[in-house]
Each structure stands twice: as structure tokens, then as C-alpha cells.
């Protein structure tokens, strides 16, 4: 958690300098809790021209998680990856494409996810794994 807080602090600090492109100052919107279908927690995350994940905070419980990534943009590709678990990864998709990945959530905690293509533009988010109910 301390490491993640550091990353957010760095992102915030870099977003405040005028030398950064405007996209770096975009907020990180939205949060959602996964809905469960047939034992799989499913979350739909959109990524578009603002280089942000919508939503950027995703809460799940331990167990199987399916991330459905939708590129709503008109140009840049996006992907989705858990920084500490790089095999939990939705490969890059182009404009108007959708892809997904299913994996087992790590233990309770907070985990950073990124678009590996746009991490320097601040395209990051947080996967919150809540304790089992
Ligand atoms: Cu991206």
C-alpha cells in the first residue's frame, strides 16, 4: 500500500507541472464493484482518448475475475495489466475493440493496474481486493 501511495503521489506531482501534456492532468474517474455471474466477477473497463480507465478504481473479492476492456477511443490502442502480476493482462486492443482476461485475484489489498502503453501519461488505476465476505 505504501508503494502504491508513492506512485499516486508521483503521478499527482508530475501532473501539476506545466511542462506536462494536458492529458497528464486528467482526473482518474469512477469506481465500481464487480458483479458476479456463474462464479466469475466481471468488470467492464473503458479506455479512450483521454488515456484514463473508466472506472479507475475496481473492487473485487478473492476468486476469479474477468476484466473486459473496451477501447472507446478513435485512435490509440490500450491494454490493461496488473503491475505486480504482469501475466494478469488484457493484450492491447485498437479503437472500438473489446478484449478480456480472466485470472484469480491476488490476496486482499490494493494493486496498481496500468495501460503499459500510456503509463507515462498517467493511465493507471487501482484494483482493490476486499477480504472474502
Ligand atoms: Cu492506453
Average pLDDT over residues 66-70: 98
Percent pLDDT > 70 in the chain is: 85
- Quick one: which H or E segment has residue 5? helix 2-15
> Domain holding 121: CATH number?
2.60.40.420
Above 90 in pLDDT, residue 93?
Answer: yes
CA of 62 to the centre of ligand 1 (A): 26
Ligand 1 mean position, distance from CA 15 (Å): 17
What span, in angstroms and rounded, lies between the C-alpha atoms of 38 and 100? 16
* Residue 7, domain extent: 2-129
Radius of gyration of the chain (CA): 14
Cα of 61 vs centre of ligand 1, distance in Å, is 25
Q: Average of pLDDT values for 50-76?
A: 96
Q: What total number of domains does the chain contain?
A: 1
Tell me how many degrees the CA angle 32-101-94 measures, rounded to the nearest 5.
Answer: 90
Phi, psi dihedrals of residue 97, rounded to the nearest 5°: -100, 160
Q: How many residues does the chain have?
A: 133
Indicate the pTM of the whole model. 0.82
Amino acid at each position: 500500500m505504501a508503494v502504491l501511495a508513492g506512485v499516486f503521489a508521483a503521478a499527482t506531482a508530475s501532473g501539476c507541472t506545466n511542462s506536462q501534456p494536458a492529458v497528464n492532468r486528467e482526473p482518474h474517474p469512477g469506481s465500481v464493484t464487480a458483479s458476479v455471474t456463474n462464479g466469475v466477477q466481471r468488470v467492464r473497463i473503458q479506455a479512450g482518448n483521454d488515456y484514463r480507465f473508466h472506472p479507475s478504481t475496481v473492487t473485487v473479492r478473492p476468486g476469479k475475475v474477468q476484466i473486459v476492456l473496451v477501447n472507446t477511443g478513435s485512435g490509440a490502442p490500450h491494454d490493461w495489466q496488473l503491475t505486480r502480476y504482469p501475466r494478469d493482462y488484457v493484450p492491447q486492443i485498437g479503437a472500438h475493440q473489446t478484449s478480456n482476461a480472466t485470472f484469480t485475484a491476488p490476496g486482499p489489498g490494493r494493486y496498481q493496474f496500468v495501460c503499459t502503453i500510456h503509463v507515462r501519461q498517467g493511465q493507471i488505476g487501482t484494483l482493490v481486493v476486499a477480504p472474502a465476505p
